[in-house]
Amino acid sequence: MKKTYFGTDGIRGRVGTYPMTADFILKLGWSAGRVLAKEGKSKAIIGKDTRISGYMYESALEAGLSAAGVHVHLLGPMPTPGIAYLTRALHAQLGIVISASHNPYYDNGIKFFSAQGSKLSDDIELAIEAELLKTMQTVEPAVLGKAKRIHDAAGRYIEFCKSSIPLMTSLKGMKIVIDCANGATYHIAPSVLDELGAEVVSIGINPDGLNINQAVGSTDPSLLVNTVLEQKADLGIALDGDGDRVIMVDHKGNILDGDEILYIIAMDRLKNKKCIGGVVGTVMSNFGLEHALQTVGIDFIRTPVGDRYVLEMMDKKQYLLGGEASGHIICLDKTSTGDGIISALQVLFAMFQGNQSLFELTQGMDKFPQKMINVKLEKEIDPLQDKQVKEAVKEAENSLQSEGRVLLRASGTEPLIRVMVEGKDNIQVCSLAENIAKVVASICTE
């Protein structure tokens, strides 16, 4: 069966526009409680990022879960991976995240975690959607769910992050700029680095409900680059609004995306003779990552874009590392889901252990020039099936021959068509991507 509401990363949309309305989220909480919890005996935890709409959705979910007989523990602002961890640590049957990740403040979304701290299966999401079709009924008053706040949630998660690297690891002598995107990590990431001994310069730590991801964070690292250079820092770390993505900046101001971070972590595991099985990337992963890993004997497999597909393949192949160029890195030997802070710590440990700079750790990987252009989809059509688009793609592939690739895909979270071209020559890559994007735009806006 095809899902109506759930996308590749939960349910997401513009605040106040269906389905991101208060009444729908109320019923969503009730429906999820009905599917995943036992009346009067189960509990769910709810965390959120710093969007102003989080207050509204938190209250709606709390009411819906209570009506289904589910006890609720409220975490307040908390990174998505922190909610996954605390779902396990607090023995909850359900973890709920209120966040639209890297999107602007006027969007929001709902994500769910199972009792194991992992994304829900398609079957469970379909079961929740089936409950949404039913009339909402409240349990008997004696078994209504109760709610309480968990006041030490941040401290618990900080300790968990620090435990992902060896106890004696010290970041003393490192000057690190951390950009928290005015999001859910603003009160956590700086403390993690400070407690490990680093000299910390923090930016993007003043959320006001409206400035999440605004000119800061992993989607806009320009301020981070400038701050690293101005402060003469050893490196910079940028997280996104809900803390599950990370990019880094070396002391020269070079931006490292998820492919390079994944390479560093994989090579560190190899150096320490830790078996990871292989690495899972996506169709967007740079060919340079695949080539560098295969050169040292590490298997590399691609999946469609989306961390759930990466995780599914990791489970299937029993691989322990996977991720996306966007900075969503999954270290299954450390935690159950993508975690920006924990991924950054794995890189910092590699620097500490090898006494190497971030710049030095990337020298074994040569990235292919890659150009991606987002084309806004303004009407209900599939430009990927259009004859003119197919011809433009074929022409580009012929130009690249066997030394590059073309990829067009629809975004799973936004009304966009992503046009990506990769090859050895940057000028050619940019030209081909722009040509294809023009054709796609002409179809999408006619």
Positions marked active-site: 101
Q: Hey, is 129 helix, strand or coil?
A: helix
How far apart CA 183 and CA 77 sit, in angstroms, is 8
Q: H/E element holding 14?
A: strand 11-14
How far apart CA 85 and CA 244 sit, in angstroms, is 12
Q: Hey, is 65 helix, strand or coil?
A: helix
Q: Hey, is 72 helix, strand or coil?
A: strand
Whose structure tokens read 């599914």? Answer: 312
CB neighbours of 297 closer than 8 A, spacing ≥ 6?
A: none
Quote the distance between the C-alpha of residue 51 and its chain's center. Answer: 17
Give me the helices (H) in 272-419, please: 287-295, 307-317, 340-354, 358-361, 387-400
List phi, psi (to 5°) of 188.
-125, -55
Q: Could you tell me whether strands 107-113 and 175-179 are parallel, antiparallel, or unpaired per DSSP bridges? A: unpaired
The CB-side HSE value for 268 (13 A sphere, CA atoms) comes to: 27
- For residues 247 and 256, the answer to whether their CB atoms sit within 8 Å is yes
Q: Which of 393, 142, 343 is nearest to 237 (CA)?
A: 343
Q: Dihedral of CA 321/319/269/158: which sign?
A: positive
| Structure token pair of residue 435 | 């040509």
How far apart CA 26 and CA 63 sit, in angstroms, is 7
Count H helices, E strands: the chain?
14, 18
